[in-house]
Each structure stands twice: as structure tokens, then as C-alpha cells.
Structure 1
Amino acid sequence: MEGRILGKKGNGTTLTDKQLKESEDLKRLRKENVRLKDENSILKKFAAMLSREQNVD
């Protein structure tokens, strides 16, 4: 079904099946990337906190 026009993007251009799937995948990956960066930040802060606690002992 590649080449079949599915829908319109906000700027008036049409997307094929493949383009639509890639667009959805990109949106999902960007959202996942934000979540992973947030988790990484939390883990870094926790590791720093544990390090400070160990140095106090």
C-alpha cells in the first residue's frame, strides 16, 4: 500500500502509509527519549545523594 495517500498534515501536505508510520514512530521515540532523560536525571541525583551519605560515615 505504499504510495497510497492517507491524510493531511497541518501544513496541507499529504502523507503516505510509510511516512505516516515513520512520523508516528518518531513521535513515540521523542516521547520515550524525554522519559529516559528524566529517569537518568533522577538516577544521577540519587547516586550523588548516596555518595554524600557514604562520605559522612
Structure 2
Amino acid sequence: MFDAALREQIVVGAADALATSQRALSHAPRRLRHALKDHLLQRTAAMIGPTATTAA
């Protein structure tokens, strides 16, 4: 899911690519964010992208 979100850069596109709902895609990375203590993705005006830690 995380890879699809980075590739598509919008939650709708990533959810469609994975044949899942936006809600499922938004909630799935919660445990990963908690474990890594990083938000992983950040929102811009119209897209999502990796945080500096994720991009490194």
C-alpha cells in the first residue's frame, strides 16, 4: 500500500490501483508510522509525498 501511495501520489489513485477503499488505504499504514515514529507521507496542496525520512 505504501508503495502504491508513493507511486500514485494521491490517495484516490493508490486506492484504485489496489482495488481498495480510500479509508482502508489511509488506515493501513498506522502501525508502520507508529513503529517508525515518522508520518511517512505528507500532504501538499493536491498530492501526497514522502517525508524527508521516508525519501532517504
Fold in common (TM above 0.5): no
Q: Which has the larger radius of gyration?
A: 1
Q: Which has the higher helix share?
A: 1
TM-score by length of 1: 0.27
TM-score by length of 2: 0.28
